[in-house]
Amino acid sequence: MKISVVMATYNGAQFIEQQLESLLAQTLAPFELILADDVSDDGTLDIAGRVLADAPFPVDIYENPQRLGYADNFLHAAEKARGDYIAFCDQDDVWLPNKLEVLADWVEKFPSVSLWIHRGKVVDVDLKPLEAFHPNIAATVVQLPRTGRLTDRPPGFAMCLDRRLLTNFNWRERPQDLQFPGSRSKHDTWIATLADTIGGIRYATDVLVLYRRHGKNFSAFRKGSNLSRRLGQLRDAFRPPRREGIATLLEGLKQHAEYFEAAVDTRPEDEEVLLQQALRYRNAAETARRRLALLDAGGARSVSILFGGLRDGRYRQDGRMDKRALVQDVVTTLRNLCRLESRGER
């Protein structure tokens, strides 16, 4: 089983030795390690060179001539991989010894999917366990193509992907991120998007990585226990939506639809599934448009937009209700009605 490990580094001197040691301790050795450094100035490459000097597997270390940013650094490095499958590796985590062995077993047992994702145990800076998993996968399931939430953001450190996701699609022209304006889709979000389009995703509850939180991580994670995080999510749902956030989402959804429509020219054999996925993004974009209109609408118009969205199924995707968006829009509608009533009293 040829699983290439791809690590993107940037000023990782504090923790990288532990991570590299955990790669050397794998019960199934990587097919190769591709390490791409994004112009570190803290000795990261010196540490990597020392630790990997006698590695029992091929190691290729690259130093970017200029900073690419972590997402492009990962994708640029992954493009150099020669294995059939790729496991992304963050510089500050620690892999459990059986990670690659378990991933290889999954690839053999579930060859029809194109992305395999596991849980990580959240730990502190000293690797002491915290009361959380990330991603917080509740059950081991196979997610069929074009059934995932379009806004899902599984983390790269927990991924093993079929390399064809990278070779069959142009990552350099990937669309805008759905959350960050002016930025292309993050490397892990983009891989999950492609896997949701073609092949599907297997989520598993197995813990294969110690996911270290130290205040400088790039990936998002809500701190606290599972209960506190759920309460935080509930609190967020009752807050009015941010106009900038919905506008960014709308632009990103439109660009995703355009990307998959244009991809038909280079992947005509996948025309049907690409157009199906593009339509999902078009429909989601229409929902985002309605939500923007709701923010500007008067009281009576708010009610019309809200109930129109419910009637047309705009809050449902693949049979699942987007409860957060619905609750936020109900709150916005009530707020607009209160404003109307207040103006009437004056």
pLDDT single digits (tens) 12-57: 999 999 999 999 999 999 999 999 999 999 999 999 999 999 999 9
Alpha-carbon distance of 210 to 73, in angstroms, equals 22
111: confidence class by pLDDT, cuts 50, 70, 90: very high
pLDDT confidence band for 346 (50 / 70 / 90): very low
Claim to verify: residue 76 and residue 168 sit in the same structural domain: yes
More confident of the two residues 138 and 297: 138
What is the pLDDT at residue 330? 87
What pLDDT is attached to residue 334? 85
Pick the closest to residue 169 from 186, 189, 191 (CA basis). 191
The answer on pLDDT for 9 being more than 90 is yes
Residue 170: Cβ within 10 Å count: 12
Q: What is the pLDDT of residue 235?
A: 60
pLDDT at 223: 54
Provide the domain limits for residue 198: 3-222
* Least confident segment among 24-28, 225-229, 239-243: 225-229
Q: Which is more confidently placed, 23 or 303?
A: 23
**pLDDT score for 345:** 41
In eight-state DSSP terms, residue 218 is S
List the Cα angle 125/221/121 in 5-degree steps.
Answer: 55
The beta-strand segments (E) located in 236-322 are 316-317, 320-321
pLDDT band at residue 293 under the 50/70/90 scheme: confident
105 in the same domain as 217: yes
Same-domain check for residues 81 and 126: yes
Q: Whole-number mean pLDDT of the chain?
A: 91
State whether 181 and 46 are in the same domain.
Answer: yes
Angle at which helices 187-197 and 271-296 cross, to 10°:
120
Based on the fold, state whether residues 215 and 249 are members of the same structural domain.
Answer: no
pLDDT of residue 306: 85
Residue of 151, 175, 190 whose CA lies nearest to 254: 175
How does pLDDT run across 312-342, given as a tens digit for each residue?
888 887 767 888 888 888 888 888 888 655 5
E-state strands within 213-344: 316-317, 320-321
**Domain assignment present for 160:** yes
CA atoms within 13 A on the CB side of 56: 9
Residue with tokens 């991603």: 135
**HSE (CB half, 13 Å, CA atoms) of 336?**
21
pLDDT cut 90: percent of the chain above it: 74
The predicted model gives 163-173 an average pLDDT of 96
Encoded tokens for 208: 């294969």
In this structure, the number of other CB atoms found within 10 A of the CB of residue 3 comes to 25
As for how many domains the chain has, the answer is 2
Q: Does residue 294 lie in a domain region?
A: yes
Q: What is the pLDDT of residue 259?
A: 98
Pair 160, 129 in one domain: yes
Same domain, yes or no: 251 and 146: no
Residue 185 confidence (pLDDT): 98
Mean per-residue pLDDT for 263-277? 97
Block residue for tokens 């985002």: 288
pLDDT of residue 342: 57
Q: Which of 148-152, 267-271, 315-319, 339-343 has the lowest average pLDDT?
A: 339-343
Residues 182 and 64 in one domain: yes
- How many other β-carbons are positioned within 10 Å of the β-carbon of residue 118? 26
Domain co-membership, 251 together with 213? no
Clarify whether residues 62 and 210 are in a common domain: yes
Residue 315: half-sphere exposure toward Cβ, Cα within 13 Å: 18
Q: Is 271 helix (H, G, I), strand (E, B) or coil?
A: helix
User: Which has the minimum average pLDDT: 7-16, 142-151, 256-265, 329-338?
Assistant: 329-338
Residue 226 has a pLDDT of 56
CATH code for position 131: 3.90.550.10
Strands 3-9 and 85-89: parallel
Whether the per-residue pLDDT at 239 is higher than 70: the answer is no
Same domain, 7 and 132: yes
Q: How far apart are CA 244 and CA 25, in angstroms?
A: 46
Question: How much is the pLDDT for 231?
Answer: 58
Nearest-angstrom CA–CA distance, 116 and 86: 10
